[in-house]
Amino acid sequence: MPAIVLVGAQWGDEGKGKATDLMGTDVDYVVKFNGGNNAGHTVVIEGEDGTREKYALHLLPSGILTPTVTPVIGNGVVVDLEVLFQELDGLEARGVDTSKLVVSANAHVIAPYNRTLDKVTERFLGKRKIGTTGRGIGPTYADKMNRVGIRVQDLFDEGILRQKVEAALGFKNQVLVKIYNTRAVDVDLVVEELLGYAERLRPMVADSALVLEEALNAGQNVLLEAGQATLLDVDHGTYPFVTSSSATAGGACTGSGIPPTRVSRVIAILKAYTTRVGEGPFPTELFDDDGETLRKTGAEYGTTTGRPRRCGWMDTVIGRYATRVNGVTDFVITKLDVLTGFEKVPVCVAYEVDGVRHDEMPVSQSDFHHAKPVYEMLDGWWEDISGCREFDELPAAAQAYVLRVEELIGARVSAIGVGPGRHEIIQRHPLLDA
């Protein structure tokens, strides 16, 4: 069976966790291939009696909530081991079986000094800060590229681990003391902390690329789940206001070891409006009551940091860009229910930059910063749509909204979210090949 990639189309928090969960028992493996505990996925599961259980996942792939799924932390992920065990303990305490988790031996570890460096670097940047989650993501990927990173496999060889920590801290301690004016980090303490995780971690560690290759050869379905999203991708996003990993479909291959020839579908999750956490340009951002309404109705507060998310209208220039960069075959539009109750729903179809119309993402960062949205005004609707399960049950204006967006983004909309719950979805086309 082929591999399927699932990515975010905008700036994150589109509902990737819910979409992964939706595929439930149809997939056998769910692989997180990039990022770390900067991600925050909320999955809401309805009980038979109408109760709702909410799970907030950061480091673990959302597939962990489905008992038949083997969750995998791929080589492209950066792992905070303290957070990993906290999250596993939290799920176990709620009765979720986490025993099948596989962690790549090649995944990098977020060392404690990189959390410190993330925070002090942001402080040092002042007005020019990125607005990171402060989880040590950027410095850990920088170490990886700089070839001074610590990998999961290093925890099983104390001599090697010590050498690597010493090598990393030789330079970093100079920076911490001489530039940032903070205290040096003690090598022994870091080594001791990391070794403390080794025994519990050992049974989970594997050559995950080989595990996945064998699964695919055995006809199993593998879902590669992105953290973050297209515009937060370090290459294709709104650099420098991005995360430090490859969150687009290409990253799914390097971050898991699955070759591109095995990927048959790319599913992108697109929120019916746009949100962003942290700094950086955002052409359709709203600063008025409509923005506040979207934030309140959509509960747009970060799962990871609790920060209010910046909110704005749907931007189909971004949608088209996501289609192009990821090779999207299917879109899932989420949170259509949140748009209920507006007289008119504006959709951004192009930008205007200094009097010039741009139908595609401007090539220069300055142009994107100055981009003014060109809106098409679509009719709103007032009916509660959370109970709709078929496309033609939606009010005509909501149908027209989806169809117009579909036309503008250039790939089919296969499912539509109408509420946070697992079953609050309209399925138009199957997300998996039969």
Interacting residues with Mg ion between 19 and 58 (CB under 5 A): 40
Q: Is 133 in the site for ligand IMO (CB under 6 A)?
A: yes
Partner that binds at residue 151, options ligand IMO, ligand GDP, Mg ion, none, CB closer than 5 to 8 Å by kind: none
Site for ligand IMO contains 138 (CB under 6 A): yes
Q: Which does 133 bind (CB under 5 to 8 A by kind): Mg ion, ligand GDP, ligand IMO, none?
A: ligand IMO
419 binds, options ligand GDP, Mg ion, ligand IMO, none, Cβ within 5 to 8 A by partner type = ligand GDP
Q: Given the complex with ligand IMO, which of 54 and 178 has the nearer CB atom? A: 54
Annotation marks residue 41 as catalytic = yes
Stretch in the footprint of ligand IMO (CB under 6 A) among 78-86, 225-233, 262-270, 348-356:
225-233
Of 221 and 245, nearer to ligand IMO (C-beta) is 245
Helix H, strand E, coil C: the string for the chain is CCEEEEEECCCCCCCHHHHHHHHHHHCCEEEECCECCCCCEEEEEECCCCCEEEEEECCCCHHHHCCCCEEEECCCEEECHHHHHHHHHHHHHCCCCCCCCEEECCCEECCHHHHHHHHHHHHHHHHHCCCCCCCCHHHHHHHHHCCCCCEHHHHHCHHHHHHHHHHHHHHHHHHHHHHCCCCCCCHHHHHHHHHHHHHHHHHHEECHHHHHHHHHHCCCCEEEECCCCHHHCCCCCCCCCCCCCCCCHHHHHHCCCCCHHHEEEEEEEEECCEEECCCCCCCCECCCHHHHHHHHHCCCECCCCCCECEEECEEHHHHHHHHHHHCCCEEEEECHHHHCCCCEEEEEEEEEECCEEECCCCCCHHHHHHCEEEEEEEECCCCCCCCCCCHHHCCHHHHHHHHHHHHHHCCEEEEEECCCECCCEEECCCCCCC
Residue 78 binds ligand IMO (CB under 6 A): no
Question: Which residue of 3, 5, 7, 12 would you call a contact of ligand IMO, by CB under 6 A?
Answer: 12
Residues making contact with ligand GDP (CB under 6 A): 8, 12-18, 39-42, 44, 303, 334-335, 337-338, 417-420
Clarify whether 89 is annotated catalytic.
no
Q: What mask, x for binding Mg ion by CB under 5 A, covers residues 278 to 317?
A: -------------------------x--------------
Question: Is residue 227 near Mg ion by the rule CB under 5 A?
Answer: no
For the CB of residue 426, give the shortest distance to ligand IMO in the complex, in Å: 22
Minimum CB separation from ligand IMO for residue 175, in Å? 18
Q: Interface with ligand IMO includes 40 (CB under 6 A)?
A: yes
Residues contributing to the site for Mg ion (CB under 5 A) = 13, 40, 303
Sites of contact with ligand IMO (CB under 6 A): 8, 11-13, 38-41, 130-133, 135, 137-138, 227-229, 232, 243-244, 277-278
Instruction: Write out the catalytic residue numbers.
Output: 13, 41
